[in-house]
Structure 1
Amino acid sequence: MSKASSFRQKQSIVFLAFLITTFIIGIAGALQSPTLSRFLTFEVNVNSHLVGLFFSINALASIVGSFLLAKYSDKKGDRRYIVIFCCLMGVANSVTFAFTRHYFILITLGVLFAALSSAAMPQVFALAREYAVKSGRNVVAFNSIIRAQLSLAWVFGPPISFGLALSFGFTVMYLTAMSMFIIAMFFVAIFLPSVEKNPTSQLSSAADLQAANIPLWKNRNIVCLLLSTVFMWTANMMYIIDMPLYVDLVLHLPDSLPGVLMGLAAGIEIPVMLIAGFLVPSLGKRNLFFIAIICGLIFYIGMIFFTSKFALLVLQLFNALFIGIVANIGIIYFQDLLPTRMGVASTLFNNGIVFSVILAGVLQGFVSDAYGHEAIYWIALVMVAVSLLFCALVKDGKKASQ
């Protein structure tokens, strides 16, 4: 009896450590990202073209760096040490930005550290999946609760970021981010478990093992799911970039409304993530994906045809259902399709979102200048429809549908 009680207590400590680690690393990212353009513009004194160049190179470097670390992590090494290494790179990145105002150093050394630190969150999710399987937990529910911590971090992080930067300066803000990475390293080193990699135990046959290990570009399910992810997240990122301008310049609604809309959607997303996790056993991930994308279609149709403040507020329910479900279930979907490569699976989902940020930035700037802000939402609607088609092409196999 005492052994069982001790085991449950240990599991509770590990679970709490996962929650705290995810939240702290999320806070570190949410401190740095929102004020980066302001930092480059007013502290480094560069023009908008160099700001855009920095964002593009930083995003591309993050995609490459996190993918290389993911491949390494799936083949060898304790995943905890990789998370600690990523946090250490986050510390180096924060120190670089805190004390350097030279653009060349930031876009080379700073971007290198940022690229290596960007793998921290995908590695935490990969470790959480492996631990959940080993300990017999409900994998999707476990992931849902942990994923919600990341969303919660982005509720609190941006206001804190602006508050620190504007009140105390960017050096204090980046040193605060550094302290977050140090705290995360402590929790990973002391409380998170080492999980022996035994991915083949999750496969029912040699055919499953062969299918899981084929090159990514030859895996139709992965390619289709990745394209579906890129299209849906590009639509979402275009909305996030354009909506404040659309509300102000086209609809002539209050300046404070965009913040209210984003905050409302973020607040609804957290319970949506948790509820979606518990609905997976009965509905399946594939069906939940379809429901989410249909909510996305309703949301963008509404954005095109409804222009009142009340309508925009109501539409955030569909926006939250869309993003809340795919943000939670998406990473599990990739992991189920690549059960022998948890790190690569988690990173593919994350990199799909990062690539969408790049694509959305380019499209939003070009389309809004050439055709007006209204066209953004027609393009977003088409992208979500295309995402639905690619999602339908993903085979509903044993691992992918449960």
Structure 2
Amino acid sequence: MRSIAGNTRPFVALAGAVLLLGIADSMAGAYLVLFASRHAGLTPVQIGLFTAAPAAGGIVVATLIARRFDRRPTRGYAIGAATLGALGLTLLTTTRSAPLLIVIAAFLLGAHQAVFPQLFALARVVTSNERTTPLLRSFWSLAWALGPLAGAVMLGHLGFPGLLRASAVVLALAALTTAAVPAPRPTQPQAALAARPDRPCAGAAGRAMPAASPPGGEQPAPHRDRPPGAGLWIRLRTFTISRYGSRPPTGEGVGVAATTGVILFFLAMFAGSIALPLYVTAGLHQPDSTVGLLFSACAAVEIIVALGLAVLPDRVNQRLLIAAAMMALAVFYGISLLADDLTLLLAGQVARGIAIAVVSAAGIRYFQDLMRPATARATTLFANATAAGSLLAGALAGPAIQHWGQVTTLVLCGGAAMLGGGVFCIRQRNRSATRQDARPVTVGDQAP
């Protein structure tokens, strides 16, 4: 906490940007399904495509931006993506054509998806404190506690078009606040990424200079002494060590199982977010404002949990903690299906809030720790897993609701959440994925 206090200006600006981004997202996001259904008249399948389109575009944009951020950190990517998102929200109010709405969602709202991982990558570079992530995540949760309630008020007075335009204004303010974050200075590993020392460089006289030797001065063996294929391996290993000085930040430390578990969790979460508003309003005959109230109650729980994660001891097994939180989402769906009034629906938000806060905050930090120094790529890998879950949810939830109904869809969401928790634990039995696994690798080390 003292380290964060020593970086007051960047943290305050980042917290403000995250808060405004979250308010804009929650004001529009909590009612986007109802906007598509009631205002635009989309079918359940079209609603699924509409909600999946931003995730598809976001994966592409966020990945491209992340690689450039790791080479040269800058606030410009987050500012530009937020500006495009504000434009997209405004354009949604100008048409009811399903194809055009999907195109706007894919390109402009897709670009907007990159803002969240960019802000958290920016926070890691500017504050150089891993405790910043759960603290910023608490501001995101606070935004989701306030945004849906504010959205409900605006929806009642301004309708869906007014709500989306107001969200666009808040998103533009988030872009301006991001500009107040101090310009990041590349750390030593990031400077190495930008410099690309694996390539020959020009000396003072303009002649080519050889790339840096590996630590310890070890040189590759003469060609005649190498076994077949060894030349490529030595070049790749020399390139990796000279470029990064440690294990390459490719995400291999995170693992396929962990990434798949995150995808399944967010598939369950986003598919439930599509089915639940329809279940609450059509199945349980609750007013539209109830949807915003449930989102706000969940976010209030997230705030408490995120703040608790900021002081959680490092000795707590992060992988098991995240897996347990994924199981909590299945508990939420069970409680929701048993509900026949608002009381039990609100009680279920406790389990949902715990699940989302732990997986989101601890998950980002977990990926960042295992992929350092590639902070942006680590954050984007997690964000892309989130977006992949959203993409699958949009593609599957609409047809599931149309053919099987809301109740069956929610049951399937609970099953996906349980499966995600189980898959996330698989690698724990084979090789523990703790921060110690991300230790630097020297030339003499045995490859894992």
Shorter-chain TM-score range: 0.7 to 0.9
Alignment of structure 1 residues 168-187 onto 2, 5 Å: 168=158, 172-187=162-177
- Residue 142 (structure 2) pairs with residue 152 (structure 1): yes
- Between stretches 287-296 and 168-177, larger displacement belongs to 168-177
Mapped partners of 1:370, 1:380: distance in 2? 15
* 2:56 alignment partner AA: L
Given that 1:269 and 1:323 are in contact with CA atoms closer than 8 Å, whether structure 2 keeps it comes out as: yes
Given that 2:368 and 2:379 are in contact with CA atoms closer than 8 Å, whether structure 1 keeps it comes out as: yes
TM-score in terms of structure 1 length: 0.79
Change (3 A) 1:9 1:161: same
Change (3 A) 1:33 1:199: same
Match of 2:255 among 206, 222, 225: 222
* 2:435 alignment partner AA: K
Change (3 A) 1:192 1:285: farther
Mapped partners of 1:52, 1:294: distance in 2? 25
Match of 2:186 in 1: 196
* 1:396 alignment partner AA: S
Match of 2:390 in 1: 357
Q: Residue by residue, what CA displacement relative to the aligned partner does 1:206-259 show, whole Å, maximum 9, x if unpaired? A: 789664334x5xx26332221111112222233333345556777x58668666
Change (3 A) 1:47 1:253: closer
Q: CA deviation at 1:49?
A: 5.0
Mapped partners of 1:308, 1:281: distance in 2? 41
- Residue 426 (structure 2) pairs with residue 393 (structure 1): yes
* 1:90 alignment partner AA: G
Query: Secondary structure of 1:233's match?
Result: helix
Change (3 A) 1:171 1:388: closer
Q: Residue by residue, what CA displacement relative to the aligned partner does 1:301-349 show, whole Å, maximum 9, x if unpaired? A: 5556x55656555443333222221121111111122213222221222
Given that 2:19 and 2:143 are in contact with CA atoms closer than 8 Å, whether structure 1 keeps it comes out as: yes
Given that 1:200 and 1:209 are in contact with CA atoms closer than 8 Å, whether structure 2 keeps it comes out as: no
Match of 2:55 in 1: 59
Change (3 A) 1:400 1:261: farther
Given that 1:222 and 1:334 are in contact with CA atoms closer than 8 Å, whether structure 2 keeps it comes out as: no
Mapped partners of 2:12, 2:307: distance in 1? 16
Match of 1:274 among 303, 307, 323: 307
Q: CA deviation at 1:93?
A: 2.6
Listed as ranges, the gaps of 5+ residues in structure 1 are none
Mapped partners of 2:91, 2:285: distance in 1? 40
Given that 2:26 and 2:144 are in contact with CA atoms closer than 8 Å, whether structure 1 keeps it comes out as: yes
Alignment of structure 1 residues 102-181 onto 2, 5 Å: 106-108=101-103, 111-133=106-128, 137=129, 139-140=130-131, 142-168=132-158, 172-181=162-171
Given that 1:31 and 1:160 are in contact with CA atoms closer than 8 Å, whether structure 2 keeps it comes out as: yes
- Residue 231 (structure 2) pairs with residue 236 (structure 1): no
Match of 1:22 among 18, 24, 29: 18
Q: CA deviation at 1:147?
A: 1.0
* 2:16 alignment partner AA: I
Change (3 A) 1:224 1:280: farther
Q: CA deviation at 1:123?
A: 0.4
* 2:74 alignment partner AA: R
Given that 1:14 and 1:192 are in contact with CA atoms closer than 8 Å, whether structure 2 keeps it comes out as: yes
Change (3 A) 1:16 1:364: same
Given that 2:47 and 2:394 are in contact with CA atoms closer than 8 Å, whether structure 1 keeps it comes out as: no
Mapped partners of 1:129, 1:105: distance in 2? 37
Identity of aligned residues (%): 23
Query: Secondary structure of 1:79's match?
Result: coil
Alignment of structure 1 residues 5-16 onto 2, 5 Å: 11-16=7-12
Change (3 A) 1:198 1:390: farther
Relative to its length, the structure with more helix (as a share) is 1
Match of 2:223 in 1: none
Match of 2:366 among 330, 333, 337: 333
Change (3 A) 1:192 1:181: farther
Q: CA deviation at 1:181?
A: 3.4
- Residue 77 (structure 2) pairs with residue 82 (structure 1): yes
Q: Residue by residue, what CA displacement relative to the aligned partner does 1:152-186 show, whole Å, maximum 9, x if unpaired? A: 22222233334435523555444433432332333
Mapped partners of 1:170, 1:261: distance in 2? 19
Listed as ranges, the gaps of 5+ residues in structure 2 are 192-214, 216-239, 439-448
Given that 1:285 and 1:400 are in contact with CA atoms closer than 8 Å, whether structure 2 keeps it comes out as: no
Match of 2:413 among 360, 380, 387: 380
* 1:384 alignment partner AA: A
RMSD: 3.8
Query: Secondary structure of 2:255's match?
Result: helix
Match of 1:293 in 2: 326
Change (3 A) 1:385 1:254: same
Given that 1:300 and 1:381 are in contact with CA atoms closer than 8 Å, whether structure 2 keeps it comes out as: yes
Mapped partners of 1:175, 1:399: distance in 2? 44
Number of residue pairs the alignment of both structures matches: 384
Change (3 A) 1:379 1:42: closer
